[in-house]
Structure 1
């Protein structure tokens, strides 16, 4: 599988779900592991002015990836706050229950465990045994950060056992569906969408409880208080 194919598939999944995303009216969108910035930039562009007031944030453990993402955002005239950190380390308490849309293209390639998290480009794909080492760290963090109406879009391979991932999320109260599936001779790639399933609970809104509102300036204020993190702002704030 070409390393670009997964990013293209994730963006195609977001495009396929664009009408739903616009109706969803997300307040806070987040990408974990932004890499080149292609996905978070594409999300900001496809929602555009129709999702006025949406706030974008992206993280990556690799400072070089954060710099490249900044350039991608600037080149397309869109805005996001970028943070150099592992997954969402240092942000969990401040962003708990606030993320309406999370996109993740994790390191998913099965590799020896000692390759996971190494410096350099290998960290972008090394996923450890069954390619699940990083995925299994991300899922509980996503559960904590996402709002009651939060949607998670995640790339997986067949080798990651996506059915087991869906079952694991089901136990946390999430429904799921495959938005995009791509196959090559070697592997099959899936983009799975997860959302909290309130069907069995008596709620007045099909999306669950009313989303927490993030007032203007609150995220910036919170992030500026996070010690030890590189907090960079890029893009044209007027284009939000």
Structure 2
């Protein structure tokens, strides 16, 4: 389906599609408790709601929250959209499935942007300012047998994500991989990324991965 995307809100792209494919493989049923973190337009939240799941979506951006609510209304799907910083709005709750397409692009600025569209992708020098928080805070919110799905670039160190999730007691593996052409952001940072040793000289594609982490019963 088509989605409204207000200015400054991350529109569904290759990483969204890759995570949507992984979501499709999960055995959702009516009443499954799903959390979509950094929801953006709400595309993934709506995909889960369309299958009968009870979906909560969170984003720090006011425009993203408004966008997700509009898209849910247009689709006539019941999605609860909350504004807040990552998992803070759902502290104390438990979920069968948590999915997230967080900011993960390495950036020259060491801090997270406080405003603007770059909040949807910039994540510090190593691209892990948000990923590390999710790896720390998401596992305690999973019910026994619950699953966490994360999509990010290999530029942000997939092994670090796997290591942290396994240390938290989850069974974590890479389940999807896809190479995609650089978009405008990475093209503008090729020299900087090469200088940091993250890119080959003539590299013009990045590898995306989906990591699936399951909490054992």
TM-score, normalised with respect to structure 1: 0.71
**Cα root mean square deviation, aligned:** 1.8
Q: Distance in 2 between matches of 1:139 and 1:111?
A: 20
> Which residue of the partner structure matches residue 85 of structure 1?
84
Q: Contact 1:26 / 1:101 at 8 angstroms: preserved in 2?
A: no
> Which residue of the partner structure matches residue 181 of structure 1?
177
> Which residue of the partner structure matches residue 202 of structure 1?
none
Does 1:160 pair with 2:156? yes
> Which residue of the partner structure matches residue 138 of structure 2?
142
Q: Contact 2:136 / 2:164 at 8 angstroms: preserved in 1?
A: no
* 1:121 corresponds to which of 117, 120, 133: 117
- Pairing of 1:90-239 with structure 2 (within 5 A): 90-93=89-92, 95=93, 98-184=94-180, 185-197=204-216, 208=217
Larger relative CO (CA 8 A, sep 6+): 1 or 2? 1
Larger helix proportion of the pair: 1
Q: Displacement, 1:134?
A: 0.6
Q: In structure 2, do the counterparts of structure 1 residues 85 and 162 end up closer, same or farther at CA, with 3 Å as the change threshold?
A: same
Q: In structure 2, do the counterparts of structure 1 residues 26 and 143 end up closer, same or farther at CA, with 3 Å as the change threshold?
A: farther
Which is worse superposed, 55-64 or 144-153?
144-153
5+ unaligned residues in a row in structure 2: which ranges? 1-10, 181-203
Q: Displacement, 1:7?
A: 0.8
Does 1:32 pair with 2:37? yes
Q: Contact 2:109 / 2:125 at 8 angstroms: preserved in 1?
A: yes
Q: Contact 1:11 / 1:43 at 8 angstroms: preserved in 2?
A: no
Does 1:21 pair with 2:28? yes
TM-score, normalised with respect to structure 2: 0.79
Q: In structure 2, do the counterparts of structure 1 residues 105 and 113 end up closer, same or farther at CA, with 3 Å as the change threshold?
A: same
Q: Displacement, 1:115?
A: 4.9
* Number of residue equivalences: 184
Q: Distance in 2 between matches of 1:78 and 1:43?
A: 10
Q: Displacement, 1:80?
A: 1.2
Q: Distance in 2 between matches of 1:9 and 1:86?
A: 24
SS of the residue 1:21 aligns to? coil
Q: Distance in 1 between matches of 2:102 and 2:70?
A: 21
5+ unaligned residues in a row in structure 1: which ranges? 49-53, 198-207, 209-240
Which is worse superposed, 108-117 or 125-134?
108-117
SS of the residue 1:107 aligns to? coil
